[in-house]
Amino acid sequence: MNYDAEFLRYLYRRMVSIRLFEEKVGELFLAGELPGFVHLYIGEEAIAVGVCASLTDRDYITSTHRGHGHCLAKGAQILPMMAEIYGKKAGYCKGKGGSMHIADFTVGMLGANGVVGGGYNLAVGAALAAKMRQTGQVAVCFFGDGASNRGTFHEGINMAAAWKLPVIFVNENNQWASTTPCHTTTAIENIADRAAGYGIPGVIVDGNDAFAVYETARQAVERARQGGGPTLIEAKTYRIKGHFVGDPEMYRTKAEVQKHFDENDPLKNFAKKVTAAKWLKQADLDAIQAAVAAEVAQAVEEARRAPYPEDGELFDDLYAEGGLK
Amino acid sequence: MNYDAEFLRYLYRRMVSIRLFEEKVGELFLAGELPGFVHLYIGEEAIAVGVCASLTDRDYITSTHRGHGHCLAKGAQILPMMAEIYGKKAGYCKGKGGSMHIADFTVGMLGANGVVGGGYNLAVGAALAAKMRQTGQVAVCFFGDGASNRGTFHEGINMAAAWKLPVIFVNENNQWASTTPCHTTTAIENIADRAAGYGIPGVIVDGNDAFAVYETARQAVERARQGGGPTLIEAKTYRIKGHFVGDPEMYRTKAEVQKHFDENDPLKNFAKKVTAAKWLKQADLDAIQAAVAAEVAQAVEEARRAPYPEDGELFDDLYAEGGLK
Amino acid sequence: MRKITFSEATLEAMTEEMQRDDRVFVMGEDIARQGGIFGQFKGLPQKFGTGRVLDTPISETAIAGAGVGAALAGLRPVVDMHFADFITVCMDEVVNQMAKIRYMFGGQCTIPLVLRAPDGIIRSAAAQHSQSLESWFLHVPGLKVVIPSNPADAKGLLKAAIRSDDPVLYFEHKALFPMKGPVPGGDHVVPIGKASISRAGQDVTIVSYSAMAHRALEAADKLAGQGIEAEVIDLRTISPLDKETIFTSLAKTHRLVIAHEAVKTGGVGAEIAALVAEEALDLLDAPVARLGAPYVPVPFSPSLEKLVKITADDIAGAALAICK
Amino acid sequence: MRKITFSEATLEAMTEEMQRDDRVFVMGEDIARQGGIFGQFKGLPQKFGTGRVLDTPISETAIAGAGVGAALAGLRPVVDMHFADFITVCMDEVVNQMAKIRYMFGGQCTIPLVLRAPDGIIRSAAAQHSQSLESWFLHVPGLKVVIPSNPADAKGLLKAAIRSDDPVLYFEHKALFPMKGPVPGGDHVVPIGKASISRAGQDVTIVSYSAMAHRALEAADKLAGQGIEAEVIDLRTISPLDKETIFTSLAKTHRLVIAHEAVKTGGVGAEIAALVAEEALDLLDAPVARLGAPYVPVPFSPSLEKLVKITADDIAGAALAICK
Ligand SMILES: Cc1ncc(C[n+]2csc(CCOP(=O)(O)OP(=O)(O)O)c2C)c(N)n1
Ligand SMILES: Cc1ncc(C[n+]2csc(CCOP(=O)(O)OP(=O)(O)O)c2C)c(N)n1
Ligand SMILES: [Mg+2]
Ligand SMILES: [Mg+2]
């Protein structure tokens, strides 16, 4: 494969954005600066970025409780995301959603979801709309290994398969659902094997390799755009951080986690590969890193200073047509 | 295989009981004698009877809206079933359930269910209880092709597989879900293929052949009793009658239905086989038929005459501990 | 005025709105091939093709959830629940997604979706096919809930619901589908949120909706025979509740009867009685009379089923008791 | 008396009941390895083994449904919903199966099941993790619903729920888990269906439950400062409702305030106000004051979240207004 440098910089920038954004969010949360709960995507950046690189702004994604990475990968901006996590009016959702409910409809990001498995059918519906209107759009649903046991997995994929909808189901198998290891709740090795039950392709990919994810997604997207119907992609990865920031993680050892991170950090993977192949220089990567770090720092400053929603906004945005209080 | 005559008579008697019971119920319903709705099992007798022949009274089954066959196969009696369908106090549920909610806990029949797909998890729970108490019991869940698209299919089977519970999922693929053909809502040929997604065996069997069903079920039951976990059995059959009694059946031709019945009537299949093999004589079969017919006729007479529940019974049986009105 | 059935009225509404706006489509179980259990979708696939009238798998979470997704992507779905009892299967999609998404996302999107749910008691359909569950949704900010009692309102409210940019639950009583009634021609739209006064009177106010609205009118007839003139209010919409119409009537009659088929405890009647006890207590000259099903699942046997149904006599009796 | 937390109190109840009856077991997400999000199951697997304390897949229909199935087969399951918001995922299992099976089957079986559901607003958990949905279940015959406000009741009601042969929904407010309070030793069982009077008074009755019961007591303190003695009732059980205790208090005070955290419209307060308007109107010397969350999903931002929470000041203010 041959990638042009701009594309590589774009991939790296998005991955680094997620990494630095989340490191900062984790820090701020532990410092008691952020309300709510935050679930970090660190270590899984290659999946969101690899998949979204195969999409356009007109394509849709649905996301999860662990949604920051999906947002940024799809093109959401750092400042309104940070502001949202702070609960500020300048946030994407005017402070009404918070970390678990960020959406950016301008880039086709149809929202994070606090309900595990809540996104399947939303993606299926968006794909149905695309098919009905023949727009050529596709929809991608990100979901976890834990989420793969929700009934909505079955109902959504079955209907999408029966109707050959342009939707791609991307399983982020990070091997943990909160404190519960995947293998204790699922008797099979690969979530992708479930695809056969719906007559659609099931593909396994290294979720720590942005290139592999991108190529896999590209094929699935092409298939979907051409009317070939859904694909189930299982991206194997590992949840590097606790389930939420502050998780005591009594259920696994630090060593296990560190080993995974040392061996599979998708950013390090990427940097190694592109510098070894001489596609990009370390200096390019450093420059991106520095630019993103500055942007994140700036976003924190602005989000911190930004005003909270005012009392009078409480009822805004409930009904499009008003009418109730 | 060698079957003793008593067992063969038992199989035939149960199948004929279902057939004659239901023919009578259909007749009575069209005559306006029965309240509610009735869904007939005619043409699918070999499945319930074949499966239940592999069980004991201590084993459990859960059933569907099309539940008369499952009840009779599990050993429920004709009179209290008929009385229940009439809405009489002498019915299994004292008239409170009706056709879609017959249960007979004395023989492990945990109830029909008006909610399509409502039975999976009940069977899983019964199997969980059996496993916890190490009783050696198994639970069987009967469900339709339409029901196989409910999310509960996925949640129930996955949990049962992960926990290796003694439960058997028996799909009655009669090719129709009300007016909707199975192949329009499911992109795969065989429901049994979904078993692979849970790491359990998936077996296809001719649902019109009581012997084949029995042998298949027997193996699954044995496996379950020995701690081998669930099996998904798909019994292929065809819905001979309308979805409910009174269904105008505009969605298929009479000829199509007749062809299926002529070729696959499980009772005719059975009779042909046992007489050809000289295991039973035609006279044996006729005697069984006559005895059952008499029993059904008698049940109708008694159910007709039986009293309705009295006003004072309205609140009975809601709470075991009373306390509310 | 021409008379058509409730079922035909909803079909006219669907047809007109699908003609008017090609973003409108409908999906559910057995609606294309069968035309709906109550004939309420008959002929739509012939008119609009099976690309806009879709028979779904038996997958209520997919029906409701994909409806929400399609709405987010710019369509205007009508989704059918087959029986209102099965909303229980997709309550997450209705309550946590449909109702909340717009608010949680700070108004970035609209959810112009209608969820149709045939409800109510009909010929011994028993506990899992007879429920009236509308009151749950009063308690869920983000939804609107309409519940017509006659063909004209059925048509007008369905059209309004389809045109609404907010999610609307449309409850239609199974026993009403064959009912005939006058329906105005032309583009007949009934605004969401406005109750109607189906009979004027000054002695007692009877508030009701759906099939029970007919029992209320029958009760008013009976009461008239005894010299009591009841004002009968048909709510038509229960969320938002038209409090003003109720209070205005009460200011005249000073007596209130509320009747619905749903279980009395925790029903819509509780909310109405509470509003009165809070905001209009002075208007009351007598206790509120609240009628709803007794505290049991709907039993199968006809002899028991009839005991859980509120009758015109029950309503008239309750009105009489507070008019003494 | 020794003081323990609400969370510890529920843990004692579980431990004692699991020791007492080996048919009792518990399943849910992250309860064995984690010990529950709020520590409410901590140590149980060590005591009873992972055969009786089961970490499930994220499959709420299986958790609730298999709970019902296990109950039918003779066990006494306790199932955990993680967050009450997720009952929406298994409403069919709760409403159409758990609540109705015994009745539909004419009493052939019992369903001795407890469904635990942590609910309520806590530190910006936002719209899908903050709901109080108890009032829906008032409307569902066949269930019992308990909702303790303090460690003693948490223990006593959980023990009663586990011993009940009927299905019990046990709502526990997330903010209460760390709360400490006195809990009697021994076999402390609190009967289902009995409210408690947590403060006696004669000027106004304040009815509340769960975390709001504390706001009610604080309000009573404030009111006392102004010469008003409030009687504070903690419902403890909301289905069946202890009407008698409310009416008895009202016969003394003639003034009623009802407060809960759940959305006001269609909440438990509606049922209580309605019962009074129907059966005890003469007891009222002032309008009923009903407090509950305004009609919006729970917003994330702290600045907005605080607006939907009912405070002691709100309750005291409402009481004052009707005591004038
Ligand atoms: C329906 C539902 N059940 C339970 C939860 C609580 N919960 C939140 S995240 C989570 C684990 C999710 O695991 P997985 O799907 O693998 O995603 P990951 O956190 O690993 O990204 C659970 C159980 C929820 N939010 N929604
Ligand atoms: C959850 C739910 N959705 C819809 C229905 C309405 N319904 C009753 S039977 C049926 C078809 C069932 O088809 P299948 O599972 O194949 O069983 P069969 O009738 O063929 O035996 C439908 C859609 C229902 N009872 N429950
Ligand atoms: Mg995971
Ligand atoms: Mg079928």
| Residue B286 alpha carbon to ligand 3 centre in Å | 61
Residues 110-129 of C with CB under 8 A from D: 126-128
CA–centroid distance, A234 to ligand 3, in Å, is 12
What are D54's strand-pairing partners?
A: D27
Q: With an 8 Å Cβ cutoff, are B154 and A153 in contact?
A: yes
As a whole-number percent, the residues of chain C with pLDDT over 70 amount to 100
pTM for this entry: 0.98
Q: What tens digit of pLDDT does each residue of C221-232 get? A: 999 999 999 999
Q: Per-domain residue ranges for chain A?
A: 5-307
Q: Which ligand has the shortest distance to the CA of B117?
A: 2
pLDDT, tens digit (0-9, with 9 covering 90-100), for D105-114? 999 999 999 9
C129 is catalytic: yes
In the predicted model, is pLDDT for residue B268 greater than 60?
A: yes
Which ligand sits nearest to residue D84's alpha carbon?
1
Q: How far apart are CA C40 and CA C78, in angstroms?
A: 13
C62 neighbors A121 (Cβ within 8 angstroms):
yes
Q: Mean of the pLDDT values across residues C303-322?
A: 98
Q: Which residues, judged by CB distance below 6 Å to any ligand atom, belong to the binding site of ligand 1?
A: A 64-66, 114-117, 144-147, 174, 176-178, 239, 243; D 29, 58, 60, 82, 86, 89
Those residues with Cβ within 8 angstroms of residue D8's Cβ, 6 or more apart along the chain or in another chain: D151
User: A173: which strand partners?
Assistant: A236
Residues in contact with D175: Cβ distance below 8 Å, sequence separation at least 6, in sequence order: D120, D121, D122, D211
Rounded to 10°, the helix A45-52/A5-30 angle is: 140
User: Which of C38, C55, C82, C88 has most ligand 2 atoms within 8 Å of its beta carbon, as the pocket-test mutant?
Assistant: C82
Q: Is the pLDDT of residue A323 over 60?
A: no
D128 Cα nearest atom in ligand 1? 25
Cα dihedral D211, D217, D220, D224 sign: negative
- Cβ separation of C301 and B117 shorter than 8 Å? no
Q: How far is CA C121 from the centre of its chain?
A: 14
A32 CB within 8 Å of a chain D CB: no
Q: What's the Cα-to-Cα distance from D257 to each of A84, C275, D253, rounded to whole Å?
A: 37, 13, 11
C-alpha D216/C-alpha D199 separation (Å) is: 10
CATH topology of domain A5-307: Rossmann fold (3.40.50)
Mean pLDDT of the B126-153 span? 98
Distance B58 CA to ligand 2 centre (A): 28
Average of per-residue pLDDT across A181-190: 96
Q: How far apart are CA D43 and CA D35, in angstroms?
A: 7
Percentage of chain A beyond pLDDT 90 is 98
Angle (CA) B103 B105 B111, round 5°: 30
Could you give phi then psi for residue C254, rounded to 5 degrees?
A: 60, 15
Model confidence at C50: pLDDT above 90: yes
Helix, strand or coil, per DSSP, at residue D171: strand
Q: Is the dihedral of CA A242, A248, A252, A254 positive or negative?
A: positive
In chain D, which residues have their Cβ closer than 8 Å to the Cβ of B316?
107
Cα distance between the two ends of chain D: 40
Q: What is the pLDDT of residue B49?
A: 98
Average pLDDT over residues A140-160: 98
Of D129, D188, D214, D260, which is the active-site residue? D129
B31-88: pLDDT as tens digits: 999 999 999 999 999 999 999 999 999 999 999 999 999 999 999 999 999 999 999 9
The pLDDT score that the predictor gives to residue B189 is 96
Q: Is B105 on the interface with D (CB under 8 A)?
A: yes
B323: confidence class by pLDDT, cuts 50, 70, 90: low
In chain B, pLDDT over 90 holds for what percent of residues? 98
For B177-201, how does the pLDDT look when each residue is reduced to its tens digit (9 = 90+)? 999 999 999 999 999 999 999 999 9
**Which candidate, B234, B267, B212, places its Cα nearest to that of B168?**
B234
Q: Which residues of B touch A194 (CB under 8 A)?
A: 197
Q: Tokens at residue B270, please?
A: 């059975």
Please state, in angstroms and rounded to a whole number, the distance separating the CA atoms of residues A225 and A223: 6
State the distance from the centre of ligand 1 to the C-alpha of A146, rounded, in angstroms.
Answer: 6
Query: Tokens 């489509």 belong to which residue?
Result: C25
Pick the CATH number of C3-182 from 3.30.565.10, 3.40.50.970, 3.10.290.10, 2.60.40.10: 3.40.50.970
A324, pLDDT greater than 70: no
Query: What DSSP assignment string belongs to C76-126?
Result: EEEEE-SSGGGGGGGHIIIIIIITTHHHHTTTS-----EEEEEES--TT--
Task: Give yes or no for residue A258 having a pLDDT over 60.
Answer: yes
Q: State pLDDT tens for residues C66-104.
A: 999 999 999 999 999 999 999 999 999 999 999 999 999
Mutate to test the interface with C, among D139, D246, D300 (most CBs of C within 10 A): D139
Distance CA A263, CA A137 (A): 36
Q: Write out residues in chain D with pLDDT < 50, as ranges.
A: none
Average pLDDT over residues C269-289: 98
Look at ligand 2, atom 12, and give the residue with the nearest C-alpha. Answer: B177
Given strand D76-80, what is the order of strands in its sheet? D53-55, D24-28, D76-80, D114-119, D168-173, D144-146, D237-239
B71 close to B112: Cβ distance less than 8 angstroms? yes
The verdict on ipTM greater than 0.95 is yes
| Torsion angle of the four alpha carbons C215, C179, C152, C136, in this order, in degrees rounded to the nearest 10 | 60
User: For C297, which of D100, D274, D289 is closest by C-beta distance?
Assistant: D100
* DSSP one-letter string for B56-71: -TTSEEE--SS-HHHH
User: Between chains, do D192 and B323 touch, taking CB under 8 Å as contact?
Assistant: yes
Q: Which residue has the least CA distance to atom 5 on ligand 1?
A: A116
Q: Which of C129, C173, C254, C260 is catalytic?
A: C129
Q: Residue C17: what pLDDT?
A: 98
Residue listed under structure tokens 């619901």 = C161
Chain D positions touching A103 (Cβ under 8 A) are: none
Contact call for residues B34 and B113 (beta carbons, < 8 A): no
What distance in Å separates the CA atoms of residue A53 and residue A47, rounded to the nearest whole number?
10
Contact flag D192-B115 (C-beta cutoff 8 Å): no
User: Domain D196-323: which topology?
Assistant: Rossmann fold (3.40.50)
| Closest of C55, C59, C5 to residue C25, by C-alpha | C55
Ligand nearest to the CA of B244: 2
pLDDT at A321: 86
Cβ distance B93 to D92 less than 8 Å, yes or no, reads no
Contact between residue D283 and residue D231 where contact means Cβ atoms under 8 Å apart: no
Task: Give the residue whose CA is nearest to atom 21 of ligand 2.
Answer: B144
pLDDT grade for B321, boundaries at 50, 70 and 90? confident
**pLDDT of amino acid B262:** 96
Percent of chain A with pLDDT over 70: 99
Which chains pack against A, by 3+ Cβ pairs within 8 A?
B, C, D
- In sign, the C-alpha dihedral spanning D269, D275, D280, D286 is positive
- pLDDT at position A325, please? 45
The yes-or-no verdict on residue A122 having pLDDT over 50 is: yes
Residue with tokens 């009706």, as numbered in its chain: B98
The amino acid occupying position D242 is D
Closest CA to A62 of C70, D163, C2: C70
Chain C: nearest CA to D253, how far in angstroms? Answer: 16
Is A96 within 8 Å of D125 when comparing Cβ atoms? Answer: no
Q: What is the CA radius of gyration of chain B?
A: 19
Nearest-CB residue to C299 (from B96, B100, B184) = B96
Chain C residues whose CB is inside 8 A of the B121 CB are none
**Inter-residue long-range contacts of D303-307, CB under 8 Å, 24+ positions, other chains counted:** D303/A87, D303/A95, D303/A308, D303/A309, D303/A310, D303/A311, D304/A87, D304/A95, D304/A96, D304/A308, D304/A309, D304/A311, D304/A313, D304/A314, D305/A35, D305/D121, D305/D124, D307/A311, D307/A314
Nearest Cα neighbor of C291 from C240, C228, C216 is C216
Residue B322 has pLDDT above 90, yes or no: no
D72/B122 CB distance under 8 A: yes
Collapsing DSSP states into helix, strand and coil, what is residue D61? Answer: helix
User: In this predicted model, what pLDDT tens digit does every residue of B144-180 receive, in sequence order?
Assistant: 999 999 999 999 999 999 999 999 999 999 999 999 9
pLDDT > 90: what percent of chain C?
99
Mutate which of C52, C55, C59, C244 to disrupt the A interface (most A C-beta within 10 Å)?
A: C59
Task: Give yes or no for residue C168 having a pLDDT over 60.
Answer: yes
List CB contacts (< 8 A) between C192 and chain A.
Answer: 323
Question: What are the chain C neighbours of A101 within 8 Å (beta carbons)?
Answer: 104-105
Pocket test for ligand 1, best of D27, D82, D85, D129 (most atoms within 8 A of CB): D82
pLDDT, mean of residues A185-207: 98
Contact A314 D294 (CB under 8 A): yes
